[in-house]
Structure 1
Amino acid sequence: MNVELAEEYILSQLRTQLPPILYYHGVHHTLDVTQAAMALATAEGITNKTELQLLRTAALYHDTGFLRTYNGHEAEGCALVHEVLPAFDYTPNQIGAICEMIMATRLPQDPHSHLAEILCDADLDYLGRSDFESIAETLFREFQARQLVTADEDAWNRSQEQFLSQHHYWTTTAVAWREAPKQARLAEIRTKISENQ
């Protein structure tokens, strides 16, 4: 596996080819998820070099389907992985493991391995971070630009409340790091909703 070249290739594609209205799902999100995945892997005791390389590649490629489509981007990302990664010396089994992790991030999340749990938690790491509001705002703008939500802030708060109340982290580390702050965000959103009634 030539992870470095695979990373260099896909970051170049994401930087130059992603639609500009992906305010949330831009290359910054990919880099954020990759950093979170590697931090979680360390804390979760993942030391196997191959596993770490597979996780890093899955994180870097998890939203590459947005290069082709918005809905169903995970499946498109897997198709892209199958097309691109053999040139970087990834085996069919390695590509299969990467696709399994990418598909686990599709909502509702459904991971079937420890590495997939780590990637799922990394993908939504921001839900329990101090930068939650600024990142959620980019998602709201992206959904507005794609006409997936109305400009109604109360309706957005209600959808955020529903999402946060149904979401759960999969790894012990993410629960320890992010669950309490996520619950605090949820309480703040519920307060906003009740104030607007």
Structure 2
Amino acid sequence: MNLIEQSEDFVSNLLKDKLSNLYSYHNFNHTLTVVNAVKELCKKEEVNDDEKEMLLIAAWFHDTGYITGYENHEKESVKIATAFLKEKEQSDEFIAKVSNLIMATVKEYIPKTHLEKIIKDADFAHLMGTEYATTCELLRIELKNTWNLNFSNEEWAKENLNFLLNKHRFYTDYAQRKWQPLKEKNLLLVQKKIKKQAKKAADAVEAENKKNNKIEKPDRGVDTLFRVTLGNHTRLSGIADSKANILLSVNAIIISIALSSIIPKLDSPKNAHLVIPTFIMLMSSVITIIFAILSTRPKVTTGVFTREDIEAKKINLLFFGNFYKMPLEEYDWAMNEMMKDRDYLYSTMIKDLYYLGLVLQRKYKLLRIAYNFFMIGIIITVISFVIAFKSI
């Protein structure tokens, strides 16, 4: 076996026997990937056989130091490679060159020579690979097992994105031409993954907010109470309006008949006895109409509220008179604030029922007065007409 084959055999057995299973990324598979990448770069970068030999040996040994741990593993790799090469009776110059190539794989090191650029690019060849996502996941598992670093999916994706964008570059001409476009494809995949995770997180937050803001449904009995009471109030208000409309219609007819049939005849002296009864009839009808109108006349409010009113829970947002001048955005905000607060919501519904009751009380009070005037007026009118005709 030549020196490269001997190196492969030695490293393979070393990693198999001494490397911890915790290293799911920095293992023999990674080393083999780097070796194959070095072979490809050596071919494309026109490296001579001696340089290729040094590069391949450095590639085989560059992560052997992991058998003692992550800290300063490159230096440990140099020690292992040096001991092996001395055993194989290699020159000090050759060993020094291999050692320098191994040290060129230090993460923060910027390569200076052509050979250093080759091994540096080969060490990160996985960035352009089709199995990039799987490889990254193996590294994530390794960091968790060896450094107790727990990355969420979002954190890990952002970590990879930052590395691809800001912390890595290819140095050889071939890698820049051929590997960089493949790396950029993986970069796009990471960016898409981050966007997908961000959308998923936003959807989860929105769902949680909806869940938190969801108003607890009231008991069926409470719901029925409000529905029935509001329905009764509405029907009573409709009945009051109908009664007022009846009074308005009847008295309008009475006044029309009086104006068209009776009053024109009062000029005659022989009809003088009808003046007082007619006057009583007209006055009772007019007063009845006035009270009927008052019972149906709406009360105009300001139609404006402030955010302080909402925060203080002072405004009944269920009554149109309190918001009809407000912009839709403000009303929408106020309603949402009310719906978030169950106590405020129930309090508003109770107030709405209460004030509807006050309106009904006023309507029926005025209607009662109107009906009383109408009834008394009709009675007095009839009596006065009877007296008037008897006095002829």
C-alpha offsets along residues 118-138 of structure 1, whole Å, 9 cap, x if unaligned?
111111111012111111111
Instruction: Name the counterpart of 1:123.
Output: 123
C-alpha offsets along residues 8-47 of structure 1, whole Å, 9 cap, x if unaligned?
222211122110111111111111110110111101111x
Which AA in structure 1 matches 2:178?
W
Instruction: Name the counterpart of 1:99.
Output: 99
TM-score, with length taken from structure 1: 0.93
Which AA in structure 2 matches 1:16?
D
Q: How does 1:76-115 map to 2 (within 5 A)?
A: 76-115=76-115
Aligned pair 1:33/2:34, yes or no?
yes
Moved more, 16-25 or 76-85: 76-85
> Displacement of 1:4 after TM fit?
2.6
> Displacement of 1:55 after TM fit?
0.7
Identity rate, percent = 27
Q: How does 1:1-197 map to 2 (within 5 A)?
A: 2-46=3-47, 48-166=48-166, 167-197=168-198
Quote the Cα distance in structure 1 between the aligned partners of 2:137 and 2:25: 8
C-alpha offsets along residues 142-171 of structure 1, whole Å, 9 cap, x if unaligned?
111123521411111111011111210011
The structure, 1 or 2, with the larger RCO (C-alpha pairs under 8 Å, 6+ apart) is: 1
> Displacement of 1:52 after TM fit?
1.1
Contact 2:25–2:138 (8 Å) recurs in 1: yes
Contact 2:35–2:60 (8 Å) recurs in 1: yes
Aligned to 2:147, the other structure's residue is in SS state coil
Q: Which structure has the highest helix share of the two?
A: 2
Larger Rg: 2
Quote the Cα distance in structure 2 between the aligned partners of 1:73 and 1:2: 23
Quote the Cα distance in structure 1 between the aligned partners of 2:72 and 2:40: 28
Contact 1:64–1:73 (8 Å) recurs in 2: yes
Structure 2: runs of 5+ lacking an equivalent? 199-392
Deviation >3 Å, runs of 4+? 194-197
Residues paired across the two proteins, number: 196
Contact 1:78–1:99 (8 Å) recurs in 2: yes
Quote the Cα distance in structure 1 between the aligned partners of 2:150 and 2:7: 38
Moved more, 140-149 or 68-77: 140-149
Structure 1: runs of 5+ lacking an equivalent? none
TM-score, with length taken from structure 2: 0.48
What is the root-mean-square deviation in Å for CA atoms of aligned residues? Answer: 1.5
Quote the Cα distance in structure 1 between the aligned partners of 2:80 and 2:4: 16
